[in-house]
């Protein structure tokens, strides 16, 4: 996937996710089925996932390389990255540490939406400044998937919003 397509898919998938969350009434937004996350917690989780990526991509390239290293293999394509993530989830992988959302009440919805939307806009602007080769050269750590190229991390971010949209729909039995 080329950089322009990555940016477009980041915007589309996150807009669809946000639109779903904003279509929910207060009961649906705060509904937890079988002790699973509420839609509000999914919203916070997506923000908690996008925010550190945006911060990392703001770093000078030499800092990224010095801190995390460089790729020693080509980037996986989108489908291969999604398959790897789904495999990790199937083997019991879950969010951990700072990516686990706190309880979220309905009154926090607008604030979280604005934070996510603003951070995503920053991310897309930053990604636009990278070259195609830089997206494949530099790496970042993912808590579940290990070292990913920047391109792979962006693929994950695209998929992640859709994955959590699907989880919300499943909990509401709206598939």
Tens-digit pLDDT profile for residues 119-132: 999 999 999 999 99
pTM: 0.95
What is the per-residue DSSP string for 135-173? HHHBEEEETTTEEEEHHHHHHHHHHHHHHHHHHHHHHTT
Given this model, what pLDDT does residue 173 score? 87
The DSSP letter of residue 92 is T
Q: Are 144 and 74 spatial neighbours (Cβ–Cβ below 8 Å)?
A: no
- pLDDT (tens digit per residue) in 44-77: 999 999 999 999 999 999 999 999 999 999 999 9
- pLDDT (tens digit per residue) in 80-139: 999 999 999 999 999 999 999 999 999 999 999 999 999 999 999 999 999 999 999 999
Query: Can you give the length of the chain in residues?
Result: 175
User: Considering just the CA atoms, what is the radius of gyration of the chain in Å?
Assistant: 16
Number of domains in the chain: 1
Q: How do 139-142 and 146-149 pair as beta strands?
A: antiparallel
Question: Domain holding 153: CATH number?
Answer: 1.20.120.450
Given this model, what pLDDT does residue 175 score? 41
The pLDDT confidence band at residue 174, using thresholds 50, 70 and 90, is low
Range of the structural domain that residue 132 is part of: 3-171
């Amino acid at each position: 996937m080329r950089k322009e397509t990555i940016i477009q898919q980041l915007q589309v998938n996150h807009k669809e996710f946000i639109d779903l969350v904003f279509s929910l009434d207060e009961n649906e937004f705060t509904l937890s089925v079988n002790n699973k996350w509420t839609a509000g917690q999914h919203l916070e989780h997506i923000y908690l996932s996008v925010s550190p990526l945006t911060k990392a991509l703001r770093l000078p390239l030499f800092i990224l390389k010095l801190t995390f290293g460089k790729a020693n293999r080509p980037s996986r394509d989108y489908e291969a990255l999604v398959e790897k993530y789904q495999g990790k989830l199937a083997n019991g992988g879950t969010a951990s540490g700072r990516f686990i959302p706190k309880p979220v009440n309905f009154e926090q919805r607008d604030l979280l939406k604005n934070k996510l939307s603003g951070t995503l806009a920053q991310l897309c602007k930053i990604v636009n400044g990278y070259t195609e080769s830089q997206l494949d050269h530099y790496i970042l750590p993912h808590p579940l998937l290990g070292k990913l190229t920047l391109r792979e991390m962006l693929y994950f971010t695209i998929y992640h919003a859709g994955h959590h949209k699907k989880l919300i729909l499943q909990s509401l039995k709206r598939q």
